[in-house]
């Protein structure tokens, strides 16, 4: 009986050592836990070379209204939440974004999740924006998205006294301008952090991940997935694409990355909720996406069993979403520009 107890204790000890070792291996591979507060967000922004305005809850509350504000679109029916739906993993669940006049994204680009986007090293698939403030300005003005010129966005928001008062209170004399509209939206998006069991594991909770999830994490590291999917967002940085092979759906859309062919690596946080995958949304199965990545980026064949194991780990990255109460928006006035359908 004593020998049996010692054997059980030994097995438990070995299990703990393995988990401890895996935690250290994950950290050494560049995987980082999410920040636990806005001070932590500021530290990561600083590391990324991003200068952000001071975060305040007042800015975030104003930004939440603007995030859900359809009048920021020319038609009056599209908001940030249309393509980055907070109830759908922060994306829209379709292959390519649909914008003004039901226009398909001209490059057949898939809408990336907004959750944890503040922690990306760069924004947009081609990395053309460094900050969420700059990113927020893009879709509002893009003809194929919200189609609202900056001056029209300002005119619309300025026609609503409730917004005017809030902007004056928060931004002082500068009041309602396009920079402040984007800044408020970005401050709200800063709050869309989704801590998961994986973060608890990295922070030392060895039981936060099941043995199957730990096995998948180990395989994720050993296969080399961490070469691109690293950092606090397991992605969000610029990487070369089609390093080892040709992406089987490369002909869908004309996107080729930035001037150097680099593409933003999508975050893997909440990836189980953000199908379809890849920049053109051509793959709907997470297991198939894992296998395609092995071929395209690593030059290896990932078996169905291995892909299933990695998928098991990736599902542990599904985090707890902040509770968002849909805001009541100001009533339009006679001065509010009419929708243009």
Quote the CA–CA distance of 45 and 117 in Å, as a whole number. 11
Contact 257, 263 (CB under 8 A): yes
Q: Would you mind telling me the total number of residues written for the chain in this entry?
A: 341
Contact 184, 58 (CB under 8 A): no
Contact 86, 274 (CB under 8 A): no
- In degrees, rounded to 5, the angle at the alpha carbon of residue 156 between the alpha carbons of residues 154 and 162 is 95
Question: Tokens representing 96?
Answer: 């390519």
**Is 305 designated active site?**
no
Catalytic residue, candidates 58, 61, 145, 242: 145
Give the count of alpha carbons within 13 A of 272, CB side only.
12
Helix ranges (H only) for 203-272 are 211-222
Quote the CA–CA distance of 83 and 99 in Å, as a whole number. 9
- In degrees, rounded to 5, the angle at the alpha carbon of residue 57 between the alpha carbons of residues 56 and 61 is 125
DSSP for 1-52, written as a single string: -HHHHHHHHHHHHHHHHHHHHHHHHHHHTTB-PPPSSHHHHHHHHHHTT---
Residues 6+ apart with CB under 8 A from 131: 50, 52, 123, 186
The DSSP letter of residue 160 is: -
Q: Which residues are marked as active site?
A: 145
């Amino acid at each position: 009986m004593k020998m049996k107890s010692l054997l059980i204790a030994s097995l438990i000890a070995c299990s703990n050592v393995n988990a401890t070792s895996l935690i250290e291996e994950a950290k050494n591979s560049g995987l980082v836990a999410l920040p636990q507060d806005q001070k932590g967000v500021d530290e990561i922004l600083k590391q990324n070379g991003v200068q952000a305005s001071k975060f305040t809850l007042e800015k975030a509350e104003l930004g939440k209204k603007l995030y859900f504000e359809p009048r920021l679109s020319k038609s009056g029916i599209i908001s940030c939440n249309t393509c980055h739906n907070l109830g759908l993993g922060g994306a829209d669940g379709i292959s390519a974004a649909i914008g003004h006049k039901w226009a398909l994204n001209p490059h057949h680009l898939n809408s990336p999740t907004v959750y944890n986007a503040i922690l990306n090293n760069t924004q947009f698939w081609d990395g053309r924006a460094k900050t969420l403030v700059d990113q927020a300005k893009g879709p509002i003005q893009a003809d194929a998205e919200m189609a609202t010129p900056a001056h029209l966005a300002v005119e619309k928001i300025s026609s609503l006294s409730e917004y005017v008062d809030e902007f004056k209170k928060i931004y002082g004399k500068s009041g309602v301008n396009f920079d402040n509209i984007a800044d408020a939206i970005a401050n709200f998006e800063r709050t869309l952090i989704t801590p998961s069991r994986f973060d608890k594991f990295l922070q030392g909770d060895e039981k936060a991940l099941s043995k199957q999830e730990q096995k998948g994490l180990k395989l994720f590291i050993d296969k080399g997935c961490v070469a691109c999917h690293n950092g606090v967002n397991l992605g969000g940085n610029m990487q070369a694409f089609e390093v080892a092979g040709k992406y089987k759906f490369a002909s869908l859309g004309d996107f080729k990355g930035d001037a150097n062919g680099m593409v933003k690596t999508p975050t893997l946080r909440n990836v189980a909720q953000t199908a379809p995958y890849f920049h053109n949304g051509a793959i709907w199965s997470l297991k198939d996406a894992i296998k395609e990545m092995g071929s395209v980026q690593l030059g290896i064949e990932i078996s169905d069993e291995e892909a299933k194991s990695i998928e098991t780990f990736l599902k542990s990255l599904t985090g707890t979403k902040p509770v968002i109460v849909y805001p009541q928006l100001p009533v339009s006035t006679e001065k509010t520009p009419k929708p243009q359908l």
